Structure 1
Amino acid sequence: MSPGRVVVVGGGIAGLTTAALLARGGALVTLVERHDQLGGRTATLSLDGFRFDTGPSWYFMPEVFEHAFALLGERIEDHVELERLDPAYRLFPEPVDGGPSQPFDVVADPEANWATFEAREPGAGEAVRRYTQDSTRAYRTALESFLYTTFARPDRLLSLDLARQAGTLAGLLTRTLADKVAATVTDPVLRQVLGYHAVFLGSSPYRVPALYSLMSHLDLVDGVRFPRGGMYTVIQALERIARAQGVEVRTGADVATIEVDDASPSLRHPRRSGQARGVRLTDGTFLPADVVVSAADRHHTETVLLGAHRDLPESWWEDRGPGISSLLVMAGVRGALPELAHHSLFFTRDWPGNFEDILGTGRSTPPEDLRIPEAASMYVSRTTATDPDAAPPGHENLFVLVPFPADPALGGRDREVVERHADRYLDQVGAWAGIPGLRERVVTRRVVAPADFARDFSAWRGSALGMEHTLAQSAMFRPGDASSRVPNVLHVGGGTIPGVGLPMCLISAELVVKRMLGETSSRPLPAPLRPGYLAAARPRGVWSESVG
């Protein structure tokens, strides 16, 4: 039998990796991307001689990247040059007297960090050391038991080792990350060091479960890396590999709908209402498919692309939290900026109030009840600290990310309003970091607001990352990667399991392969995948039902 046809909707890291993996398996894969550039949120912007990564900029969980490339028969080190950052990042607490902040660094040496923390709070060095030991155990448990499973067979998650950890896991799931951190240290800035990762989950430490303390393993134990040339070098590598595997890549190809023929329920698919036959582009082109994989925003896929055959109607989303959005400021700056590290974090004193402003108090606070913070906790990246080629000689680049309310109206008709916010936040960076006249030194800039996320990525409520990781929206409670209404439609990316962020998106691509194979284990697939592996495994999974 000839290999089946797959259409992958969306050319971000999840869609691109999925396309490459399925093409290696023998499928005839067409990847369609609405923009002229692949990468989705992980894009690159060239502006007046400056180069910016426009999205993710922290390279965490290197073993996940290595494994994804290994599945494709590649070594990531042959494509991407990684550099370990030291310092890993610099912290700027809110000044108490109106002057500059008193920053300190988190460095590559854990022992040096414990000493720094001890100096801020007696006993904190040993307390954080123990905390990170727990974080490492939680991280390993997540890798071995939760992240690489489709949850198609929850019983296969059970193991003797997991049973032994039942009490610990219960504690990690029933209290918040903020609660766990508060039981570890009392210094407010150290609490922020242990809790800021929640922003990477689209949420706050007061809303995500304590299980996500595992993320402290990533920066305080494993360290922070950076791919020379920028995060987009990972996308470029995956594009080369996908094309070499035989993927047909179509950019400038926007999908209007996933076309579905009506189909009756069956014993195996009691909720089935249809069978996808392909996708229709906005220009009228029809691309037939045996399997459709959507890497588009999950809300957009459900409520627009699937139409009447959606799993998650609009009413389902009304009680869910979209998480944070962001105001992004990409600025080219004249002169050197040694005051800032490659990664810098700015923390306000009223952290709970800051998060309440942008997230509200409930699971799904209406946009009109959210507020833009005056002084913001924010993240600033100066990649020219590591990669000077990202700016013209005598200049530096800055990427400022301000957590913002998920309100698609922000930055729509009121561009001048978000530009004024950008001015204020640049002034805040300059004041706290002790950089006189920072804004006046900006020679070019680009501002991205929630309205841009809504327009460019059809992002639900203009969110920046995707559905936040509260307990009710994590692991098996997160929307799965297989449609129950249209069994040959699968989902990949931040809107499905295991969650948001580049490593999670890479894992979600592997979970699509597991669905195709009918593989229900909780462990990563053996690498490399054998070329043509899908044809040999058709009797077991989605693949057999679609093309068998």
Structure 2
Amino acid sequence: MSARDARDARDARDARAARETGNAATQGGAGPRIVVIGGGIGGLATAGLLARGGAQVTLLERHAQLGGRAGRWQRAGYTWDTGPSWYLMPEAFDQFFALMGRRVEDELDLVDLDPRYRVFFEGDDAHGPAEQLDVVADPEANYARFDAVSAGDGAAMRRYAEDSYSLYRLALDSFLYTTYENPLKVASREVVRRLPALGSLLTRPLGAKIDRHVRDPRLRKILGFHAVFLGSAPDRAPSLYSLMSHMDLTDGVRYPRGGMYEVVEALARIAREEGAVLRTGCDVSRIVVGDDGLASGVVLADGTTLPADVVVSGADMHHTETALLEAPHRWQDEPRWARRSPGVSALLVFAGVKGALPELAHHSLFFTRDWDANFAQIVGDGELSAPVPGSLYVSRVTATNPTAAPAGYENLFMLVPFPADPSLGATEDSRAHLEELAWGYLDQVAAWARIPDLRERTTLFKVTAPADFATELSAWKGSALGLEHTLAQSAMFRPGNASPKVRNLLYVGSSTVPGIGMPICLISAELVAKRLLGDTGASPMPTPAHRGFLSSSTRRGRLGELARGTLTPGGAVGGRGAGG
């Protein structure tokens, strides 16, 4: 049975189930009214899950298209994903789809990539060919390749990957699925046993851990590039995040045929099936807070007011706190934000190329020799600037999905980590300069990958700059990903997903727990449900979530307190409340 046939059969089954159970959300029942602000991954997942729980959910997205950072852009026969391009951490996808009573394989057609990605290491001449290495699907072949690069480092990389898997399992079991409302619930027997090591993992930088394990500077970069996925740099992200190497070195890299936006469409489809109303072109201008200190709804840009019993904001947290809430209801003032780091932004380049590009894999990474200096230019406390040459990423999805470009052409998406500076691209002169840089980065790719005529064959269709992240997504300082994962912005130190000032205002997405990334935002949606249920544990919710599960919160959690009239602005629902 194909994925489409499976979906059709499931749709029919779910329609019968909705009729038979009288699901409050689909039957217009009296479930709590919940407004979700923002139609990104976190917002869509939250809308679907809470609607399944029996709530009357309305999601409001200010743009015409759902997806937020995970968008899709089409022009001249090309189709580009505008945000996430790596499908990693399948357990998180499996868990969320299982919560919704679905299977990933029925919703997405996943392709296992081989090679996982191709790496280009800058040579002696920055304008000449680079050294090339493929990371393939066979881990043993990879370790042999690594050992050929640097004798003894193949075994070191294997040990590092084994350790990363152990940490990955610990994170899944103890840290990622908790709201930290009750931090003691994190203290499992395994966590307590590993406390001495965890202290070091949280306080020592990722780069330092990598340097202790692997000698060769080229191979160190294969272990350190994940820091960019965290909006950070290897010398700034805690070494606990070495767990990410398990994902590509051991677990693998996948791609949803049709593009990463297929995930957005699946989440939107499921949310609607569960009864959520998804409205696009609806810009929220204010969260209404009453004299009792509780949110009573939202006001749209056109003046329309939508009432709500609970508001969940999937918008940028800084925007929510400083633009959507009036000053008395904010729990994070500008001095607190000034102590935080927005992490990296990005220059995104959307290009089409005539003819084939076998020199590039589906995922290609280009690493400069002076790795530390490159990162120092884009994130940190010093003077920041655009890196030239840059350590950058190129996605050629036409290697896997030829329909993403017209016949005889290739689709290229390039991401260059950039400083989070909303002035970059804010004026005509600045944007013209960034387009010149974009061509320069394409020339860098051409030289390093030995594609001498790349510029002549390329049409540059669009450049997205930090200014665009600031204006289009209201991202703080034009950050491309969300708050950087430093020690002070990770785990229980990251801003929590519930406001201590407005007790029926919750947060979802990359600025709150557990953090950045498409699968992590799916977990973030589950944490919203756990808040409403009063679930302070560290385990994922049981699957599938039964329809109407929010009704079980009449004695526990925020919905229960709302029902009893005991939810007050200063009242703690248990433990820490809001993190950070």
The alignment's TM-score, normalised by the length of structure 1, stands at 0.96
Asked if the contact 2:120–2:133 (Cα under 8 Å) also holds between the matched residues in 1, the reply is: yes
Establish whether residue 57 from structure 1 lines up as the match of residue 85 from structure 2. Answer: yes
Q: Would you say 1:103 and 2:103 are equivalent positions?
A: no
Please give the residue correspondences for 1:268-283 in structure 2 after superposition, counting only pairs within 5 Å. Answer: 274-283=293-302
Q: Could you tell me which residue of structure 2 aligns to residue 226 of structure 1?
A: 255
Aligned with residue 508 of structure 1, among 512, 524, 527: 524
Unpaired stretches in structure 2, ≥5 consecutive residues: 1-28, 565-580
Distance in 1 between the 2:309 and 2:455 partners?
A: 53
Residue 212 of structure 2 corresponds to residue 208 of structure 1: no
**Hey, what does 2:97 align to over in structure 1?**
69
Deviations along 1:354-388, whole A, 9 cap, x unmatched? 1111113x3xx6xxx31111100000000000011
Q: 1:123 aligns with which of 142, 152, 164?
A: 152
Partner of 2:348: 328
**Equivalent residues in 2 for 1:331-342 (5 A)?**
331-342=351-362
Matched ranges for 1:366-381 at <5 A = 369-381=383-395
Cα offset, 1:546, TM superposition: 2.8
The residue number in structure 2 matching 1:247 is 276
Letter in 1 for 2:330: R
Name the residue aligned to 1:423: 439
The 2-side partners of 1:359 and 1:158 are apart by 33
Question: How far apart are 1:422 and its partner, in Å?
Answer: 0.7
Task: Say whether the 8 Å CA contact 2:349–2:460 is kept in structure 1.
Answer: no
Q: Name the residue aligned to 2:499.
A: 483
| Distance (whole Å) between structure 2 residues aligned to residue 376 and residue 170 of structure 1 | 33
Q: CA RMSD in A?
A: 1.0
Q: In the alignment, which residue of structure 1 is the partner of 2:195?
A: 166
- Aligned-pair CA distance for 1:444: 4.4
Determine if contact 2:70/2:83 at 8 Å carries over to the other structure: yes
- The amino acid that maps onto 1:286 is T
For structure 1, the 5+ residue unaligned runs are: 264-273
User: What is the CA distance between 1:173 and its match in structure 2?
Assistant: 1.3
Partner of 1:459 in structure 2? 475
- Secondary structure of the residue aligned to 1:400 is strand
Corresponding residue for residue 349 of structure 1:
369
Instruction: Check the 8 A contact 1:243/1:249 in 2, yes or no.
Output: yes
The residue identity in structure 2 corresponding to 1:253 is C
Residues in 1 aligned to 2:352 and 2:307: alpha-carbon distance in whole angstroms: 45
Shift of 1:2: 2.0
Kindly state the Cα deviation for residue 537 of structure 1 after the two structures are TM-superposed.
Answer: 2.3
2:59 is matched with which residue? 31
d(CA) in 1 for partners of 2:318, 2:303: 23
What is the aligned partner in structure 2 of residue 399 from structure 1? 413
CA distance in 1, matches of 2:476, 2:496: 17
% same residue: 60
- Counterpart CA distance in 2 for 1:545 and 1:285 is 28
AA matched with 1:394: G
Range with greater deviation from structure 2 (415-424 or 289-298): 415-424
Find the counterpart in structure 2 of residue 40 from structure 1: 68
> Shift in Å at residue 25 of structure 1?
0.6
**Aligned 8 A contact 2:93 2:522 in 1:** yes
The answer as to whether partners of 1:6 and 1:29 remain within 8 angstroms in 2 is yes
Letter in 2 for 1:56: P
**2:420 aligned with 1:409, yes or no?**
no
Read off the aligned partner of 1:84 and give its amino acid letter: D
SS at match of 1:537: helix
Partner of 2:403: 389
Query: Which amino acid is the alignment partner of residue 457 of structure 1?
Result: L
- 8 A Cα contact 2:321 2:332, kept in partner: yes
Deviation at 1:443, TM superposition (A): 2.8
Q: 1:319, CA displacement in angstroms? A: 1.1
1:294 equivalenced with 2:313 (yes/no): yes
* 1:518/1:541 contact within 8 Å kept: yes
C-alpha displacement of 1:14: 0.3
Displacement after TM superposition at 1:170 (Å)? 1.6
| Contact kept in structure 1, 2:164 and 2:242, CA below 8 Å | yes
Conservation of the 8 A alpha-carbon contact between 1:291 and 1:546: no
Partner of 1:497: 513
| 1:481-512 per-position Cα deviation (integer Å, ceiling 9, x unaligned) | 00000000000000100000001100000000
User: What is the distance in 1 between the residues matched to 2:128 and 2:261?
Assistant: 37
1:114 equivalent to 2:143? Answer yes
How many positions carry a matched residue from both structures? 532
Matched, 1:151 2:188: no
Aligned to 1:269: none
Contact 2:533 2:552 in 1 (8 A): no
Greater shift, 442-451 or 33-42, is seen at: 442-451
SS in 1 for 2:290: strand
Runs ≥4 in structure 1, deviation > 6 angstroms? none
